Structure 1
């Protein structure tokens, strides 16, 4: 699943989702499968939230392939298709591939420049990955 509108001027999950979508996803990633009413109640701790608004957002997330919906009797239960970690892994990979396709060597150069600010563990992981990649060539 690819999120089509990556927002560079936002931060965190708001790069991929609208503000309410991001809040819904955080709630669902923190818990188990749940109905709209439970999500609405958790959102209401911050601000009064209309049930129909929450339902619309959650159903749009189902349409986008982000949430899975299961109906039991008259109740519908929602859960994320991927864990938060899997989602971020997928999206960062998609974004990296798109940047490489469009900008190629410039992206690699800028990523290397960004390593000046990276911690030593990240640099070691990168070195290990490069060594593995070289052995596979």
Structure 2
């Protein structure tokens, strides 16, 4: 699944989705497979949310290949196609590859600059990965 829009000024799932889409996915990733009504009831606790709006958004997420739907009695159950971790891994890898293709070494330089602000474990992971890459050459 490829997300075509990335909003740089947003955070979390809102970088990839609209606010309601992100909240729906958050509910499903946290609570597992749910009906539209169950998702709407969870969202209602935070803010009044129309059932038809939730239904429309969930069906659009299904059409986009982000959710899958299966019949269960008179309703349907929805769940994300991938886990949150898999989704974020895939999206970050695609974004990194696109940045590398477009900007090359400038991106690597900026990533290395950003390492000054991270913990030592992340730097150690990077060093390990570089050693692995050098062995393969």
Do the structures match in fold with TM over 0.5? yes
In structure 1, the residue matched to 2:51 is 51
1:44, 1:61 → 2: CA distance?
A: 20
Give the C-alpha shift of residue 32 in structure 1.
Answer: 1.8
Determine the C-alpha separation between the residues in 2 that align with 1:49 and 1:34.
16
Which residue in the other structure is 1:131 paired with?
131
Q: Distance in 1 between matches of 2:57 and 2:20?
A: 8
Q: Tell me the CA shift for residue 72 of structure 1.
A: 2.4
TM-score by length of 2: 0.98
> Which residue pairs with 2:28 in the alignment?
28
* Alpha-carbon shift at residue 33 of structure 1 (Å): 0.8
* Aligned counterparts of 1:30 and 1:6: Cα–Cα separation in 2: 23
1:48-91 superposed Cα distances (whole Å, 9 cap, x missing partner):
11110000110111111110011123211100000000000000
Q: State the secondary structure of the residue aligned to 2:89.
A: helix
TM superposition shift of 1:10: 0.5
Helix, strand or coil: the match of 2:65?
coil
> 3-state DSSP class of the match of 2:76?
strand
Is residue 17 of structure 1 aligned with residue 52 of structure 2? Answer: no
Alignment of 1:84-99 (within 5 A): 84-99=84-99
Q: When the two structures are superposed, what TM-score results if normalisation uses the length of structure 1?
A: 0.98
Deviations 1:20-66 (A, max 9, x none): 00100000000121100000000000111111000011011111111
1:34 alignment partner, SS class: coil
Q: Which runs of 4+ in 1 moved over 6 A?
A: none
Give the Cα–Cα distance (whole angstroms) in 2 for the partners of residues 71 and 95 of structure 1: 35
Aligned alpha-carbon RMSD (Å): 0.7
Q: What's the secondary structure of 1:77's corresponding residue?
A: strand
CA distance in 2, matches of 1:73, 1:30: 23
